[in-house]
A and B are shown apart, each in its own frame.
Chain A
Amino acid sequence: MKSALKRTTDTDTTSGSVTPTSNRSLAQNLAGFSTLVEGLDYAARGVTGFNFFSARGQLQHVLPYAELRRQAISTARKLLSLGLKRGERVAVVAETGPEFMAVFFGCQYAGLIPCPMPYTMYIGGKDSYIDRVAGMLAAAKAQTVVTGEDLLGHITEGAARAGARRILTHAELQALPEAATKLEPFRAHEDAYIQYSSGSTSNPKGVLISQAAILSNTRGILQDGMRITPEDRAFSWLPLYHDMGLVGFCLSAAMGQVSVDFLATSSFARRPALWLKLMSDNKSTITYSPSFGYDLAARRINGDAVTLDLSRLRIAGIGGDMVRADVLEGFAAHMSVAGFRPQAFLPSYGMAETTLAISFVDPDAPIRVDSIDRLALKLEGRAVPAQGSNARSFVVCGRPMAGSTVEIRGERGETLGARAVGRIFVRTPSVMSGYYHNHEATAAVVGQDGFLDTGDMGYWLDGEIVITGRAKDLILHNGRNIWPQDIEWAAEQIEPLRSGDVAAFAVENDEGDDEVTVLVQCRLQDEASIESLRHEVSAVVHRSAGVECKVVMVPPKSLPFTSSGKLSRAAAKQKFLSGEIAELSVLPLIDGASRFEAAF
């Protein structure tokens, strides 16, 4: 078997070395700033910064904070030469590299709101990517989009649909003249950026984050959550259009003058083991990933684990999906030969609507797992300690960060005590200003009392939060949120299906993973047509959501609807699991003669 860490020569590499881990002559200041610009101005007085590695693990770009500041100021003047007004949105495709950083921070110096956008990662995913881009641009009312050369065609199509008129490649932007005006960076009471993390493809919502929220959250992450010291060095392959990648490993790092080594998400996806190899080379102390990332990397490293040194890694954070104790144990066992210590695992909880972090476990404490009775959880909403085959384990996700208040509420809105499962609400200075230009959606989640409805379910255990699942219909898959509406809408475009014929939801399998299940009301009779429809639905779901799914054909009129005529996914799931909605595929088992009889 060939080595997972095989290297070949890159054409575009730098001969330089990475930025140092510590600033010798600049005292560390952990986000004691009132704006992102103030924080970057401070970091630029030192020698730390960002480093970017190629898909094959070669150092490609070195961007000290001082250089980032210089490029950001220049980019700000170039953006302003376009005549953009204060507070206008600038969408930018968040590919992991110096160009994105210059535009994001450039917007901060220019008083423009950057909107980091995803790039396409799926084979055959072009059409759904263009839909997504169009929806995002419309939601942010962004007229200006900046992209790399590669995605120009896709972005142009999406922008045309959203009515965004100005599309620039990074090269075109950098070729603009610098406006000679005085720069007026965002002030402490103004906006900072828009994060897309919430909402379906057809109706995305942009989370508007203020300077006050981002500084409050990065301060909490650096001081309470991770207890950063000048010896820390971070590593990230997380996408920069996602809150965990952008806030956790770009903005927090800059606000704490921490050096970061980046590997693009697409490079991680191709070679997960490279993450571990580069952390060993760079003596990383902090990294983060959803559970599945640890799983992938450990399985791919093969015999090379013994050649690595992960003994300096003091925080291996987990977030973005349900924290899976078994996966973490597997990783720890596999990587112990590399000096990895299981105490490094740091479960945490958060979401884009609170900028990022809500709670962290004590970084020096080992992982704590609570094992509770499945039936009591499902039927009575109580977390009763249990062992054995009826038990389910949950990882404890820590205490709310300083300055935040978390309440777990019952169905009548009453606050619950220990071991009672309810809906999680949080009040925090890091809360979003709202969904951009969407008062209705904002009012649906942020109450008069200032508490945000997280949509998650959980319970208290000794003052720490334990998450048990989602209250909403969201499907979590490999750290991604998948909106069932997107799957249903895509499937319903197939002939002869109609609106209301499809219900998508996640069913948890024995390993605790979400399996996407799609119920399809089927009016077809012959086996061949049913099979072909099943295949088509599966293909469409794959193209639009990038997941494999189980397609179940069910009889017409079997899906339940609410009194207001909305599909009830929760009821559909429950009826399916209880057998009340039965799979239609038993029909073809009847032989030809009796089927003929049955038809009359």
Chain B
Amino acid sequence: MTDTVTQLCTLLEPFNGNGTVISATTDISTDLNIDSVTVMDFVMEVEDHFDIEIPLNVLSETRTVADLAKVVEARTRKG
């Protein structure tokens, strides 16, 4: 696992209500049974943690932890 994936898994853990094992392939919106409002809460945590902004169009194409890690890595490099 890359460092970003590990950090994302840690950030995601408090939102993991049903005890699913979180990995790079976890589908954030569907595997954890969290609703759309709570997902935004997690997104805010990610943005604050990495000090980046993730636009909504990018978010709409993001499904797994690995997808999100790619987004984060692209944006932290830019910053």
A contact residues vs B (CB 8 Å cutoff)? 6, 8, 55, 119-126, 129, 150-151, 153-154, 266, 269-271, 292, 296, 478, 538-539, 542-543, 546-548
The answer to whether A539 and B36 have CB atoms under 8 Å apart is no
Residues of chain A contacted by B29 (CB below 8 angstroms): 122-125, 542-543
B contact residues vs A (CB 8 Å cutoff)? 27-31, 33-37, 39-41, 43-44, 47-48, 51, 53, 55-57, 59-63
Shortest CB-to-CB span from A93 to chain B, Å, is 10
A8-B51, A542-B29 as given contacts; A478 in contact with B37, CB under 8 Å: yes
The answer to whether A126 and B37 have CB atoms under 8 Å apart is no
- Name the residue in B43, B44, B57 with the highest tally of chain A Cβ atoms < 10 Å from its Cβ: B57
The answer to whether B33 and A124 have CB atoms under 8 Å apart is no
Residues of chain A contacted by B59 (CB below 8 angstroms): 120-123
- In the complex formed, the residue of B with least CB distance to A9 is B51
Closest 10 CB pairs of A and B: A539-B30, A269-B40, A546-B36, A270-B44, A120-B60, A126-B60, A124-B63, A150-B57, A124-B29, A125-B60
The answer to whether A270 and B43 have CB atoms under 8 Å apart is yes
Residues of chain A contacted by B37 (CB below 8 angstroms): 269, 292, 296, 478
Shortest CB-to-CB span from B33 to chain A, Å, is 5
A150-B57, A151-B57, A270-B47 as given contacts; A124 in contact with B27, CB under 8 Å: yes
The answer to whether B27 and A121 have CB atoms under 8 Å apart is no
The answer to whether B56 and A543 have CB atoms under 8 Å apart is no
Q: 16 A-B residue contacts at CB 8 Å?
A: A120-B56, A121-B40, A122-B29, A124-B28, A124-B29, A124-B60, A124-B62, A125-B60, A150-B55, A266-B40, A269-B40, A271-B44, A478-B36, A538-B30, A539-B31, A548-B34
Q: Which of B30, B47, B53, B55 contacts A543 (CB 8 A)?
A: B30
- In the complex formed, the residue of A with least CB distance to B33 is A548
- Name the residue in A6, A55, A122, A154 with the highest tally of chain B Cβ atoms < 10 Å from its Cβ: A122
The answer to whether A154 and B33 have CB atoms under 8 Å apart is no
Residues of chain B contacted by A538 (CB below 8 angstroms): 30, 33
Shortest CB-to-CB span from B27 to chain A, Å, is 7
Q: Which of B28, B33, B44, B47 contacts A123 (CB 8 A)?
A: B28
Shortest CB-to-CB span from A119 to chain B, Å, is 6
How many Å lie between the Cα of A538 and that of B30 in the bound state?
Answer: 7
Q: Which of A55, A122, A269 contacts B60 (CB 8 A)?
A: A122
How many Å lie between the Cα of A126 and that of B57 in the bound state?
Answer: 8
How many Å lie between the Cα of A32 and that of B25 in the bound state?
Answer: 58
Shortest CB-to-CB span from A469 to chain B, Å, is 21
How many Å lie between the Cα of A548 and that of B37 in the bound state?
Answer: 11
